Amino acid sequence: MNNPESNKPFVPKQALAPTPQLYHQLVADGMENLAKVTVAELASERPIVGASHLLDLGCGTGAGTSAFVGAVSKEVASDIGIKGVDINQAALDIYKKTTSEQGWPAEAILGDANKMDMFTDDTFTHSLATAMVFVLPDNADPAIKEMYRTLKPGSAAALNSWAYVPNMHPLRVASRATRPAGFPEIRGAMDQWEDGSFLQARIEEAGFKTHRVVQREVFAHTTTDIYHQANMLWSFIGGTTASGWIESDEERWDEAIEIIVAELRKTDGYQKLEGDKLRLKFVAHVAVAIK
Ligand SMILES: C[S@@+](CC[C@H](N)C(=O)[O-])C[C@H]1O[C@@H](n2cnc3c(N)ncnc32)[C@H](O)[C@@H]1O
């Protein structure tokens, strides 16, 4: 789920496994809130009505599908169909479980966003990729072209990317301070998405007729204290560069965590809540594009 760029076997003994459960605890309600604002923009452009066919691409454990269902009445929800596509079976297992518990009108499909042969052209009335495009290779161009191909003419797709992420700078400071010079920057490929014009260019490249991009603030309310948050962050993302984890990461684990905690406290997006919990502010670019 954490999209590592290396398959080196070494993992520091302190690192928590990057499971969907850890992802859930790490992002708290942040991804759900991002999905909600993105679906709201999509539905304002093309209302979700009965008989709609919706795609939740890179659905993960279901933040986008939950937002789809939350955006419509019970009557409409019983008359729409959602396909949740993801490449990660563990995430889809949770998606399926929630689908049956919540009664979502959804089907989980194991597949690659870059090649969605299971869908014919012009299938969907709404297409969503939330917290998704910036984890894909090739600037997400093949996947966004597949979104375009599978969308009905005149229908809308919604995509988002981050303009500001409060926890990226703390992770990078910790990595630079505890690792050798020249070590790859953590999530270096994400920087290009900070400028909304990069997302716009991808949408135009895919062939969409029109599009608009707005900025939205998104808040995450963590359920754990800052130290556990820092531990989860370093565990989930610290080893994802092309150089993976290195042996010294184990010896310098506590040092890295102290740096992440100190830097998080300094960021504009950080606020301490009662009970040692945190509120983190993110800023997203939200795009709606019409085929
Ligand atoms: C950051 S998560 C976001 C998940 C979900 N959309 C959400 O908002 O919580 C990115 C998701 O993209 C999925 N993913 C990455 N590469 C993919 C690919 N090539 N095809 C389909 N899914 C992919 C990952 O497995 C992961 O579930």
The reported pLDDT for the residue numbered 176 is 97
Residue of minimum CA distance from atom 3 in ligand 1: 131
Residues paired with residue 106 on neighbouring β-strands, in sequence order? 82
Cα(1) to centroid(ligand 1), Å: 7
Cα(244) to centroid(ligand 1), Å: 20
Q: Tokens at residue 207, please?
A: 């062939």
What atom in ligand 1 is closest to the CA of residue 59?
A: 6
| Interior/surface letters 156-175, b for 16+ CB within 10 angstroms, e for the rest | bbbbbbbbbbbbbbbbbbbb
Local structure of residue 46 (DSSP, 8 states): S
Identify the CA nearest to 196 among candidates 289, 285, 283, 281.
285
20-290: CATH architecture: 3-Layer(aba) Sandwich (3.40)
The reported pLDDT for the residue numbered 150 is 98
The reported pLDDT for the residue numbered 146 is 98
Q: Are 238 and 249 in contact (CB under 8 A)?
A: yes
> Left (φ > 0), alpha (ψ -120 to 50) or beta: where does 247 sit?
alpha
Query: Ligand 1: which residues within 6 Å by Cβ?
Result: 1, 31, 35, 58-60, 63-64, 85-88, 91, 112-114, 130-132, 135-136
The reported pLDDT for the residue numbered 203 is 98
Q: Whole-angstrom Cα distance, residue 179 to residue 256?
A: 10
What atom in ligand 1 is closest to the CA of residue 34?
A: 8
Q: Tokens at residue 46, please?
A: 């093309």
Substitution candidate for ligand 1 out of 94, 118, 132, 286 with most atoms within 8 A of CB:
132
The reported pLDDT for the residue numbered 272 is 87
Sign of the alpha-carbon dihedral angle for 173, 177, 181, 183 = negative
Give the pairing of strands 81-86 and 53-57: parallel
> Which runs of E-coded beta strand occur in 111-193?
124-129, 151-164
Tens-level pLDDT at each residue, the chain (291 residues): 677 888 889 999 999 999 988 988 999 999 999 999 999 999 999 999 999 999 999 999 999 999 999 999 999 999 999 999 999 999 999 999 999 999 999 999 999 999 999 999 999 999 999 999 998 989 999 999 999 999 999 999 999 999 999 999 999 999 999 999 999 999 988 899 999 999 999 999 999 989 999 999 999 999 888 999 999 999 999 999 999 999 999 999 999 999 999 999 999 888 988 877 889 999 999 999 999
The reported pLDDT for the residue numbered 178 is 98
Q: Are 185 and 241 in contact (CB under 8 A)?
A: yes
Q: Tokens at residue 6, please?
A: 């290396």
Residue of minimum CA distance from atom 27 in ligand 1: 60
